[in-house]
Amino acid sequence: MRSKFKWIFTLLLAFSMQFSFAQQKTVTGVITEGGLPLPGVSVLVKGTSRGTQTDVDGRYSISANQGEVLVFSSIGMKTKSVSVGASSTVSLALEPDAEDLGEVVVEGYKKTTRAKSNNAVVTVSAGKIEGRPNANFIQTLQGQVAGLNITTGSGQPGSNSTVILRGAGSINGNIEPLYIIDGVPLNVDNFRTINPNDIESVSVLKDAGATSIYGNRGANGVIVVTTKKGSFDSALEIKYQSTYGLTELQKNKYNTMGSADLLRTERAYGVGRGFGKTDDQINALANVNTNWKDVFFRTGVSQNHVLNLTSGSKNLSSFTSIAYLGQEGILNTTDLNRFNFRNNLNGRSDNKKFTYSTNVTVNYSRRNEATNVGTGGVNQNYVLGANNSLPYISPNEYVNSAQLLDLYNTSGSLALTPLFLLDKLSNDNFIARTEELKLILSGTLGYELAEGLNLGTRIGVDYTQNNSLTSQSPTSFNSLLFQVDNEFLGFQSEGFTRDVQITAVTSLKYSKTFNEKHTLDLGAYTEYNKGHYKSFNYRQDGLDPITYSPGNGSGFVGFNPQTPEFYVPTVGASKIESGMFSYFGTADYDYDSTYGIGATIRRDGSFRFTGDNQWATFWSVSGRWNINNESFMENSVFDMLKLRGSYGTTGNQLIVGQNGFNGVSLPYNLSNFGNSYNNANAYAFVQIGNPNLKWETVKQANIGLDFEVFQSRLSGSVDVYEKKTEDLYQGVPLSAVTGFTEINDNFGSLRNRGIELSVRYDVVRNATDGFKFSVYGNGSYNKNELVKLPSENGLVWDGGLTANREGDVLNQYYLVKYAGVNPANGNLLFYDKNGALTENPNDSDRVFTGKSALPVYQGAFGFDTSYKGFFIATQFTFVADIDRYDYDLSGLQDPSNLGQFNVSTDLLRAWTPTNRVTDIPSLNATNLALDSFSDRNLKDASYIRLRSLTVGYDFPQRFLDQTFIKHLRIFSQAENYVTWSKWRGWDAESTRAADQYQYPTPKILSFGLEVQF
């Protein structure tokens, strides 16, 4: 009986297994959108880890059981779910989702859709950011937003950029936007430790309708960064991306001389190694022809590895990212190494009334930096050595520090500059290193009190810690040069800073739709910000070469009465706190998705100011008209036509630079204890405080038009704005009887007016073979004008290259006008203030040139195309009507540098009695020094640049069906590879009004792989 039962049970089990296997089958189909194949659609068997993606033809294939549910999802499309029935084919069409990321507009404390936004907001998606070979994600935004000017003035890996939105809005205060990452405001624009591949979207808030909600921090616009998150009810998805890159020095057009030309020019001028030499001797010396650019610069190697893990259950989703970046700078010894970890969690209760989330990112970086760039330090600045060193000197002439000291003591010549710098590069003779730990933490809680009524709170922390080390070996040339009586020399300094910003926001939001046409959204908020800054530093002069090791104190020389006093370490420390409290509200009304109005009011209280000026109110109103929703627009070519406008005020409490801790003592009188008459102890005033100081206030008006026509084939937007800054922080003249000639006060105003245009056109998008081709462009015009200044004649000048005058652009070049070369004697010719020619101008002959380092026009253009998995994307950026002063060119055209430094071949066409018509003065001109305050070296820095070129291939899904790989992409990118400009230096792009021996930005070529499991 038992054996019979076993037999029957086995038979039933076999039939059961046969029935089960019979239910599992291969389901295939085609996913379309608007009748066209839709590639890249995620196809997932709900509740399992089985998934795939559609190929370039929209086709997919997946194993599933009858009764299981297939979930079809794609960015920008509504998600659809279909149960597997008896058929083995499931084909469907996805519809665009206005609520998806492509249409959602993040406006800081709230979200809306593009159609219902009243404001000037531009969103840049992850696809435009990730994979780019930039250590700083801000650099990837260049050219992607009309009116957003981003300049990078250094090739140091991870260096900061200067970001200006709609023109400079302050003379002495902060001019950069406020940055928000996952709801946490950042104190400064330090993004070298942030992983760009973690970013889901970046929203740039331009007008007062969008920025007034940030009150005293929104004067210069707001950039809101949202990082990636997981999805509920999703299987584990693993994505790995790797890039390998090469960075190279861009070429300049200074045309420095080779050894033969230089030696002959020295012979003619009577200096240097060429002096008194015959042609044969010069030819022999010219056998050494060193290109010092190849010595101090290099081809840098970079690598970037990112691993993402995304998953989600019914009520919990997670996104985790781990990344490493290693990037060598093109200047020897410079680099950046960065490690990143991020985890974003989102959760909810079963009834979805309670929600919570945490965002945690831990970032560590270490960078070795070039020091003294931008200076004339012949024994410190590698860039000077690369550009100006004598080619007939060989690197082999350097042996060691002691030998170099003997050479210098014998010759006393700066011709040894490249050897000074080789010594600095050698044997850890000099180290400049900074380690940074940055944490951005946030947590949110939300509860739906009733239908449409939600209570929420968010706490965020921005923690930044820097440890810096600068050390110079006691046996280096730079140490031995200043040695007296066998003193211990060299130095080591270390610095520690800790910056903690804590933000707490509580919100109550209400949203209700009445009669299906009237929608009301209300919000009430409180916000508390607290900042803590701590620093400590020391410097030890005098290191024992026997025990010295960089970074520790083993070489410190102890002080005793018989040793020099400079062996005593110098120390310093500081501690600052900041605080702000705000309460604010928003109201938005929409009628039938056709008309909308909004209002914001915010009250801020800041620690920075005193008395009645401690509090200020900022506000805005905005509105829109969705014209395409009107009945008279039926059957028109417009798919979307929206007119919008806003007006409001914002503030700038950072009246002294960008750092939130700068200038905290300005309202108070300050004094120092020191020596007075007859060496007596005394207190002396060092600052007259001004308790009436307050925020700078920006009033901005904006009118915009958004449009889409021809089935959204052509889309774009136009904005016109006026932005006026009042109560500018600057020095106001003061009677000298106080011991000071000016006091810091709020006085004057400046204005920015401009227009912005963005447009995109899908030239080919409905081709049956999947070919797509789109072109795009954006551009902006901005006129900057000083309206009121604190001087009787409306002129403020500090003796430098630039000055300010009412009615003109900020920081306009104020110089003597250069006329050319006097054909009679080879001297420089200038125009005096009356327009007459002169060889001897003075400061009274300076005139306003109408030129500035602030660009008037800027923008970008390019195209995107794809065909059967292959894709190409380009971006060209341009800047026009911008000028900068070229000190590098000035030095290379200065004949007084002959014998010590290299010069440009321009000097080969210098004036002589037989070459009287030329643009280069005589090598023996008597007034060469006077061009230092003329516009002779003021040069056009306009440019067009191939900012980015991407070429790649997405492998079709049919190639991956039999593997564990869901998606595979290979690509190559070129950044900054070609530049067209009249600027002769390495890089036309700069944050400075004048350039001298600066670290140039590189061009980058990278190769990458992206694989998804």
Farthest CA pair distance, the chain: 129
Q: How far apart (Å, rounded) are the C-alpha atoms in residues 214 and 185?
A: 10
The yes-or-no verdict on residue 897 having pLDDT over 70 is yes
Kindly state the tokens that stand for 272.
Answer: 């240097």
pTM metric for this prediction = 0.88
Measuring CA to CA, which residue among 667, 666, 674, 721 is closest to residue 698? 721
The pLDDT assigned to 396 comes to: 94
Burial 987-1003 (b: 16+ CB within 10 A, else e): bbbbbebbbbbbbbbbb
* Average pLDDT of span 701-721: 94
Q: How far apart (Å, rounded) are the C-alpha atoms in residues 831 and 847?
A: 10
Measuring CA to CA, which residue among 668, 528, 533 is closest to residue 610? 668
Give residue 77's identity as a one-letter amino acid code. M
Measuring CA to CA, which residue among 792, 796, 799 is closest to residue 808? 796
Share of the chain residues as helix, strand and coil, in percent rounded to the nearest 5: 15, 50, 35
Q: How far apart (Å, rounded) are the C-alpha atoms in residues 613 and 695?
A: 8
pLDDT band at 677 (very low <50, low <70, confident <90, very high): low
Q: How far apart (Å, rounded) are the C-alpha atoms in residues 714 and 104?
A: 20
* Average pLDDT of span 154-162: 88
Least confident of 681-695, 742-756, 849-863: 681-695
* Average pLDDT of span 353-368: 95
pLDDT band at 676 (very low <50, low <70, confident <90, very high): low
Gyration radius from the chain CA atoms = 33
Residues 6+ apart with CB under 8 A from 962: none
Least confident of 189-203, 306-320, 488-502: 189-203
- Dihedral angle, C-alpha 331, 332, 334, 339, nearest 10 °: 110
| Phi, psi (deg, nearest 5) at residue 907 | -70, -15
The yes-or-no verdict on residue 62 having pLDDT over 60 is yes
Calculate the average pLDDT of the chain.
Answer: 89
Q: How far apart (Å, rounded) are the C-alpha atoms in residues 602 and 488?
A: 60
**Residue-wise pLDDT tens digits, 307-319:** 999 999 989 999 9
* Average pLDDT of span 746-759: 96
Which SS3 state, helix, strand or coil, does residue 501 take?
strand
**Residue-wise pLDDT tens digits, 546-596:** 999 988 888 898 777 777 777 888 999 999 999 999 999 999 999 999 999
**Residue-wise pLDDT tens digits, 395-422:** 999 999 999 999 999 988 999 999 999 9
Q: What is the DSSP string of 338-375?
A: EEEEEEEEEEE-TTS-EEEEEEEEEEEEEEE---STTS
Fold (topology level) of 104-234: Ferric Hydroxamate Uptake Protein; Chain A, domain 1 (2.170.130)
The domain limits of the chain are 22-93, 104-234
The pLDDT assigned to 22 comes to: 40
Residues 6+ apart with CB under 8 A from 187: 462, 464, 499, 501, 531, 659, 660, 661
Measuring CA to CA, which residue among 608, 618, 603 is closest to residue 579? 608
The CATH classification number of 22-93 equals: 2.60.40.10
Give residue 478's identity as a one-letter amino acid code. N
Kindly state the tokens that stand for 527.
Answer: 């916000």
Q: Which residue has the higher pLDDT, 711 or 616?
A: 616
Length of the chain, in residues: 1013
User: What angle separates helix 417-425 from helix 401-411, to the nearest 10 degrees?
Assistant: 160
Q: How far apart (Å, rounded) are the C-alpha atoms in residues 814 and 2?
A: 109
Q: Are 225 and 198 in contact (CB under 8 A)?
A: no
